[in-house]
A and B are shown apart, each in its own frame.
Chain A
Amino acid sequence: MLFNSLPFLIFFPAVLLPYFIMPAKLRQFWLLGASYFFYMCWNPAYVLLILFSTVATYAAGLLMQKGDKKRKKAILATVIIMNLALLFFFKYWDFALANLNRVLGLIHVQAVKSPFSLLLPVGISFYTFQSLGYAIDIYRGKLTAEKNFISYALFVSFFPQLVAGPIERSSDLLPQIREVGKKRLWTREGIVSGFGMMLWGYFMKMCIADRVSIPVDAIFANLHACGTVETVAAAAGFSIQIYADFAGYSAIAIGAARMMGVGLTENFNTPYFAESISDFWHRWHVSLSSWFRDYVYIPLGGNRKGRLRKYLNLMITFLVSGLWHGSSWSYVLWGGIHGFYLVMGEVLKPLRERILKLCNVDREAFSFHFGRRLITCLLAGFAWIFFRAHSIKTAVYFVKRMFTHYNPWALFDESMFRWGLDRREMGILFFCLLILLAVSILRQVKKTDIGSFLLKQNLYFRWAVFLLLITAVLVWGEYGVDFDSAQFIYFNF
């Protein structure tokens, strides 16, 4: 059940309205049932996986609460292995086997055939990490184990963030989930701002991400016909697509939860306004990057064990993060590129400082900040090529075409309108991008999300914006019979 599908548009109000009026003690049960139903819409059998992960981490939490340090360690190790084994089996089995067969091929040994035909369970990477975060927090003593199984099961499976995050920390979400069963959390303000967030999310996903994906997909599918202009446009286009897609999804998730009175972590904070790659990762998929920071980078030693070790830890963290995104070497390389950016950023910092001083660059000037943002965007955009290409070979070919087939005339001969978006559609896309830019600037300046911003505005303005967003989504949104609607990109991870 995709957020941008008719079933969800029926499902959500059908869950929300009874939730508003039912007695508080029933609300947890209601939301848990709705969340499991939501998950079972993809594949009913896979509900066993989430149930297994829930029961295992719930039990582990209770056991760790009572045990001594040694026992706690053993329990944590067990629960981590169990969860990661589940993740490995369903997500990385085929990848591992393909790599094994490649090695066997080199030594002329017959390839091993997979006895399984596996379908990636939706959201497995997200709820596995959320559960692991809970178990590790209890092990560290930051959290007491949740005794109420219903509360815990709802924490793992809460449907707005179940399939693609944000990956919630137990210290943030669990207390709210407990309150769901005790008192009324929802408010008029929450409903209004949550609704605004949801509309904005739909706008980003359906009007921007799905529209820009049309030329991007066409270019990636026909690289042999592309030169510098097309490849640069596709790289820029994909940077926009993945942002609008994932930030759009997150906005819908946050908005839906907010309408129910539950606050979720802000997952995106205008990432393309970042002035460095390090800054970028403080703004992009914040719930994941902070998870990796707290549960991978810091346990590895973080920056506490010398410079070289810090660089190594950064590289390891980003390589693992890349692998988390997908079972392909291109994702690993994408993570590696980001790790490399960060390491080089640290290594070259003294040199950069010296050059800036030598050139007498005004660090307060707009142009300085703009330049830093531009460079960050270019670096992130370049890395996205490896993310999108699905194989290193394709990515390398893409980059090769970018630098060897210089064709500036493509900017003027209207051939750019032949990649799936004609003038009108391109005009709509740029109009939507202008709105996205305006909202991003608003976010940057006002330090508030669109839902909360609209809440503070006059009623007539808010309603006008709501109506315009609804109309834009319904009319300009890419969906319907003739449209092979792309799934939310992050569902595949």
Chain B
Amino acid sequence: MKKYLAIPIFCLIAVLWLGRVYDVLRWKDTHGDYLSSITQLDSLPDNSVDAAFVGSSHVYAGIYPSYFWEDRGISAFNTAISGMDRDSAIHYVKYLFEHQSPRVVVVDVFCLTYEKHAQQGNIYRNLLSFPLSKDGLAQLDAYAAKDESVSENKPDYLTRWPIIHTRYRELTRRDFVSDAPNHFGKGEYLNWESRTADKAVLTEADGNAQLSADHEAWLKELKELCEAHGSTLALMALPFDTYEGDQEKMDATAVWAEANGVAFWNFNRLAEKIGLDYETDFFDSSHLNALGAKKAALFLEDELSAVCELPDHRGEAGYESWDLDLHYFTQRENDDVLAQTTELSEFVPLLAGGQDLCAVISIEGECGEEFEALRSLGIDPSDSGKWLWRNGSLSKVMENDPNAGELMIDADGFSTFRLRYLGDFAPGNVMLDRSDCSNTTDGCRIAVYDSFLHRVVTIREFKYEKEEFKYFKF
């Protein structure tokens, strides 16, 4: 028998190896910034969520739990995924209740406006993001009953490998290393980009709109599910661009909600009251951005407090991840502001006040009086060379000396600066990985890297315009 022992040992090694390969290749929402609200939910301590939001991309774009935490200490969480349909919503709520006991579950009812997914990608997102479990199998059955492409390929969805194995074509660092905020995030997708949105065209609600039997059954199931777990159901419809019949469904939901004692907030109708600005608060016509999410949060904080008591958990043990999430949000916001700042006098204080930033400041050629702002960091603008700013401390790491050699500085475990001096404005004097951050003219160039978010914040050059050249402009 001894000679056959190798077979189970090989099988064990193969399983371990393939498990690792699967972990790299497994489904990740690569078009959703690799965020997975299920991963984030699984990383939470049991029974720590008080307010759970469930829904589609409207939810992860429009509800920022970090606002709720910052303002009121409410432990909120988004269980949201692109194109979450009614079946998914039920199973996500069930999954939520497995480890959490939220006081209120707020479900976005946008899913009442469609029956099937228009995009294959959303089927993948909804099915493959969900863990393989009893609920996962029930969800797959529900999809298979509705969608031929799913029923025909059910074993592929079940085993997953036949679908995900082609991800070798799109692997990135994030497939091998799970970045923030997947381990502490609260399901929001942070976005400060603004685009002018179309305001939904609304007709006057006459109070007679009726839900279809399917929709009513779905709402009833949600309500019973929440009640069975001692939770309160609330409904909302974050602002979206409506098509024919959509608004009637929302109005019908309002009628049902009122009749069943369920709170319902239709943001299309509440836009004015909340103060949503269609010029600044939207990423597109159906998705809020960070500014819109702030207004939605301020509104919901009051409304939810009226639905149930939501205690302030700030400072309590077990809620550290909400602090971390807020820090992540703040870091992203600060980085965003820093990246958009073009004046050195404004840039330097932001850099000085930032956390977890690593910056290389390279001064070559001449610098004039407009570079005086650098003094607040401790740099004499007339002293050319390479400086390193890391977590509030400054050090001059290299003179502009051709004999200085090369200096490597790790910004974090992933990115490295390479400094050298091959003459003023020589390409390659300052490299951040493969990006050239070298000066191109007189002045200073600052490459800022965020070692918390593991990404480049900005590479900005502040040029010195010599007096003699200034006259050329006239």
Judge whether B155 is part of the interface by a CB distance below 8 angstroms: yes
A191 to B6, alpha carbons, bound, how many Å? Answer: 12
**CB pair A463 B10 closer than 8 Å:** yes
Q: Does B6 contact A459, Cβ atoms closer than 8 Å? A: yes
Considering the chains assembled together, what is the distance between the CA atoms of A479 and B159 in angstroms?
13
Selected contact of B18 from candidates A188, A474, A479, CB within 8 Å: A474
B10 touching A475 by the CB < 8 A rule? no
B465 at the interface (CB under 8 A from A): no
Interface centre among A424, A470, A471, A480 (most CB of B within 10 A): A480
Bound together, the chains give a CA A209 to CA B3 distance in angstroms of 35
CA distance in complex: A199, B125 (Å): 32
* Interface membership of A481, Cβ < 8 A: yes
Say if the beta carbon of B177 comes within 8 Å of chain A.
no
- CB B147 to nearest CB in A, in angstroms, measures 12
Inter-chain contacts of B159 with A (CB < 8 A) = 6
- CA of A481 to CA of B4, assembled, Å: 37
Whether a CB of chain A sits under 8 angstroms from the CB of B25 is yes
Q: Note all chain B residues with C-beta closer than 8 A to A480.
A: 156, 161-163, 165-166
B277 to chain A, nearest CB (A): 42
In the complex, the chain B residue whose C-beta lies closest to that of A187 is B3
Q: Are A471 and B17 in contact (CB under 8 A)?
A: yes
Q: Which residue of A lies closest to B167 (CB)?
A: A475
Q: Are B6 and A475 in contact (CB under 8 A)?
A: no
B134 within 8 Å of A (CB atoms):
no
B17, B153, B161, B169: the one contacting A467 at CB < 8 Å is B17
A261 close to chain B: CB less than 8 A: no
- A1-18 contacts to B (CB < 8 Å): 6
Q: How far is the CA of A459 from the CA of B17 in the complex (A)?
A: 17
Alpha-carbon separation in the docked complex, A470 to B149 (Å) = 28
Distance in Å from the Cβ of A489 to the closest Cβ of chain B?
Answer: 21
Residues in B neighbouring A475, C-beta threshold 8 A: 21, 25, 165, 168
B14 interface hit (Cβ, 8 Å): yes
Is A482's beta carbon under 8 Å from chain B?
Answer: yes
Binary flags per residue of B1-24, CB closer than 8 Å to A gives 1, else 0: 001101100100110011001000
Is A417 interfacial (CB-CB < 8 Å)? no
Q: A425 to chain B: which residues have CB within 8 Å?
A: 169
**Residue interface mask A409-437, B partner, CB < 8 A = 1:** 00000000000000011000000000000
Does A30 sit within 8 A of B, measured CB to CB? no
CB distance from B7 to the nearest CB of A (A): 7
> Which residues 291-348 of B sit at the A interface, judged by CB distance below 8 A?
none
Q: Which residues of A contact B162 (CB under 8 A)?
A: 6, 479-481
CA distance A50 to B168 in the complex (A): 43
Neighbour of A424 across the interface among B149, B157, B169, CB < 8 A: B169
Q: Assess whether A474 is in contact with B165, with CB atoms less than 8 Å apart.
A: yes
Contacts of A477 in B (CB 8 A): 165
Bound form: Cα–Cα A480–B128 in Å:
14
Using Cβ atoms and an 8 Å threshold, which residues of chain B touch A424?
169
Query: What are the residues of chain B within 8 A of A466 when measuring CB–CB?
Result: 10, 14
Determine the chain A residues whose CB is within 8 A of the CB of B13 once the complex forms: 463, 467
Q: How far is the CA of A425 from the CA of B166 in the complex (A)?
A: 11
Q: How many A-B residue pairs have CB under 8 A?
A: 47
Interface footprint category on B: 20 to 34
Is B7's CB under 8 angstroms from A191's CB? Answer: yes
Q: Chain B nearest CB: distance from A483 CB in Å?
A: 8
List of B residues within 8 angstroms of A188 by Cβ? 3-4
Whether A88 sits at the interface, judged by CB under 8 Å, is no
Q: How far is the CB of B23 from chain A (nearest CB, A)?
A: 13
Cross-chain contact A6 with B155 (CB below 8 angstroms):
yes
Residues of the B chain whose Cβ atoms lie less than 8 Å from the Cβ of A470 = 14, 18
A46 within 8 A of B: no
Q: A424: nearest residue on chain B (CB-CB)?
A: B169
CB distance from A481 to the nearest CB of B (A): 5
Output the nearest chain A residue to B10 by Cβ-Cβ distance.
A463
Residue of B nearest to A463 (CB): B10
Complex CA distance for A479 and B160, rounded to whole angstroms = 12
Interface string of B53-77 (1 = CB under 8 A from A): 0000000000000000000000000
B163 to chain A: closest residue by CB: A481
Residues of A within 8 A of B14 (CB): 466-467, 470
Q: How far is the CB of A98 from chain B (nearest CB, A)?
A: 32
Map CB proximity to B onto A432-444 as digits: 1 under 8 Å, 0 otherwise: 0000000000000
| Residues from chain A with Cβ under 8 Å of B165 in the complex | 474-475, 477, 479-480
Cβ contact of B153, chosen from A463, A474, A476, A481, cutoff 8 A: A481
- A457 shortest CB reach to chain B, Å: 13
A467 contact set on B, CB distance < 8 A: 13-14, 17
Whether B169 contacts A482 by the Cβ 8 Å rule is no
Interface residues of B in 232-257 (CB under 8 A from A): none
Min Cβ gap A10→B in Å is 10
Give the chain A neighbours of B156 by CB distance below 8 A. 480-481
Q: For the complex, what is the distance from the CA of A397 to the CA of B333, rounded to whole Å?
A: 63
| Proximity bits, B134-159, A CB within 8 Å = 1, else 0 | 00000000000000010001011101
CB neighbors of B among A436-487 (8 A): 459, 463, 466-467, 470-471, 474-477, 479-482
Q: How far apart are the CA atoms of A191 and B165 in the complex, in Å?
A: 28
Residues of chain A with a CB closer than 8 A to B10's CB: 463, 466
User: Nearest Cβ in chain B — how far from A406, in angstroms?
Assistant: 34
B414-452 vs A, Cβ < 8 Å mask (1 yes, 0 no): 000000000000000000000000000000000000000
Please give the distance in Å from A198's CB to the nearest CB on chain B.
Answer: 14
- A476 CB contact (under 8 Å) in B155, B163, B168: B168
CB A282 to nearest CB in B, in angstroms, measures 36
A480 to B17, CA, bound (A): 21
Q: Mark A186-218, 1 if CB is under 8 A from B, else 0.
A: 001001000000000000000000000000000
Cα distance, A341 to B92, chains bound together (Å): 67
Most buried by B among A191, A467, A475: A475
Evaluate contact between A474 and B6: CB separation under 8 angstroms.
Answer: no
Give the residue name and chain of the A residue nearest to B7 (CB). Answer: A191
A453 to B163, CA, bound (A): 34
How many angstroms between the C-alpha atoms of A413 and B17 in the bound complex?
40
Residues from chain B with a CB closer than 8 A to the CB of A471 are 17-18, 21
In the complex, A474 Cα to B18 Cα: how many Å? 9
- When chains A and B are docked, how far (Å) is the Cα of A425 from the Cα of B169? 9
> Are A474 and B21 in touch, CB under 8 angstroms?
yes
A237-288 residues at the B interface, CB under 8 angstroms? none
- A111-147 with Cβ < 8 A to chain B: none
Nearest CB of A to B145, in Å: 18
Most buried by A among B14, B25, B162, B168: B162
Min Cβ gap B62→A in Å is 31
Chain A residues positioned under 8 Å from B6 (CB to CB): 459
Give complex CA distance A482, B156 in Å: 10
Q: How far is the CB of B241 from chain A (nearest CB, A)?
A: 30
- In whole angstroms, what is the CA distance A477 to B7 when docked? 24
Closest residue of chain B to A189 (Cβ to Cβ) is B3
Looking at the assembled complex, report how far the CB atom of B125 sits from the nearest CB atom of chain A, in whole angstroms.
14
| Segment 8-48 of B: residues with Cβ below 8 Å from A | 10, 13-14, 17-18, 21, 25
Q: Chain B: which residue is nearest A471 at the CB level? A: B21
The residue of chain B having its C-beta at the shortest distance from the C-beta of A485 within the complex is: B162
Beyond contacts A188-B4, A474-B161: 13 other A-B pairs, Cβ-Cβ < 8 A, are A6-B159, A191-B7, A466-B14, A470-B18, A471-B18, A474-B165, A475-B25, A480-B161, A480-B163, A481-B149, A481-B153, A481-B157, A482-B163
Measured CB to CB, the residues of A under 8 A from B are 6, 188, 191, 424-425, 459, 463, 466-467, 470-471, 474-477, 479-482
Give the A-binding residues of B (Cβ under 8 A). 3-4, 6-7, 10, 13-14, 17-18, 21, 25, 149, 153, 155-157, 159, 161-163, 165-166, 168-169
24 A-B pairs (CB sep. < 8 Å): A6-B155, A6-B159, A6-B162, A188-B3, A188-B4, A191-B7, A466-B14, A467-B14, A470-B14, A471-B17, A471-B21, A474-B18, A474-B21, A475-B168, A476-B168, A479-B162, A480-B156, A480-B163, A480-B165, A481-B156, A481-B157, A481-B162, A482-B163, A482-B166
In order of increasing CB-CB distance, the 9 nearest A-B pairs are A480-B162, A481-B153, A481-B156, A481-B163, A475-B168, A6-B155, A188-B3, A475-B165, A480-B163
